[in-house]
Amino acid sequence: MRVFLAVDVDRRLSYKIQKIQKDLIKTDAPLKLVDSENLHFTFKFFGEINPNQIKQITNITEGKLENYQAFPLHIKGTGVFPHPGYMRVLWLGIEDPAKFSELQKDLDEEFANMGFKKERSYTPHLTIARVKGAHNKEFLADKIHELQDIEIGKMDVDKLVLKKSELTPVGPIYTDLHEFFI
């Protein structure tokens, strides 16, 4: 199974994110938008794993979350990966990501002990679109710059979700495998 650990976006914020996606589409750049039901912050992408690894991941996550409490998350600002000269992923960021990053690093350390590759330079982000070509790149870059300080809103991080990802020709299908409450 292809699996990852994530924080789902509060549905109350989805309409604001969809509004930004519509603004980005107006640039006529070749974009593949992330469906609103698939919006999430990825904590860890595991790739193809077996049922035994899922049990280990579940045990580690449950154990680590006992040391944490729910915390607020403020979604604000836009960015791109890998860099503005070559945009492949458009994302929304987090203002003051300290608590989010602390939890991610704590979990990542444990997952590295299981043999998963440790994240080198993790940037908490919410992918909203993928760029599928260079057409109208300048307009897209201008729009991203214009939205760099956009305020989306606040939500509480009170659970993580282990998700299965099935790749299909029309896009990924995510299935929740396990919820971990903080």
Write down the pLDDT at residue 74.
98
Q: Hey, what are 52's tokens?
A: 């035994």
Q: Is the peptide bond before 84 cis (omega within 30 degrees of 0)?
A: no
Token digits of residue 104: 């991610």
DSSP conformation class of 37: G
pTM, entire model: 0.93
Inter-residue contact 161 to 65 (CB < 8 Å):
no
Residue 121 has pLDDT above 90, yes or no: no
Residue 120 is predicted with a pLDDT of 87
Instruction: With cut-offs at 50, 70 and 90, classify the pLDDT of residue 75.
Output: very high
Asked if the model's pLDDT at residue 12 lies above 90, the reply is yes
- Burial-class residue 98 by CB neighbours within 10 Å (0-12, 13-18, 19+): exposed
Position 80 pLDDT exceeds 90: yes
Positions marked catalytic: 40, 125
Q: Tell the residue number behind the tokens 């990501």, with chain if given.
A: 97
Average of per-residue pLDDT values in the chain: 96
- Interacting residues of 60 by C-beta distance below 8 A, sequence separation 6+: 107, 110, 111, 114
The C-alpha atoms of residue 86 and residue 64 are separated, in whole angstroms, by: 37
User: How many other CB atoms sit within 10 Å of the CB of residue 120?
Assistant: 5
pLDDT beyond 90 at 98: yes
State mean pLDDT over 47-64. 97
pLDDT score, position 171: 86
Predicted local distance difference test score (pLDDT) of residue 170: 86
Q: What mean pLDDT do residues 11-40 have?
A: 96
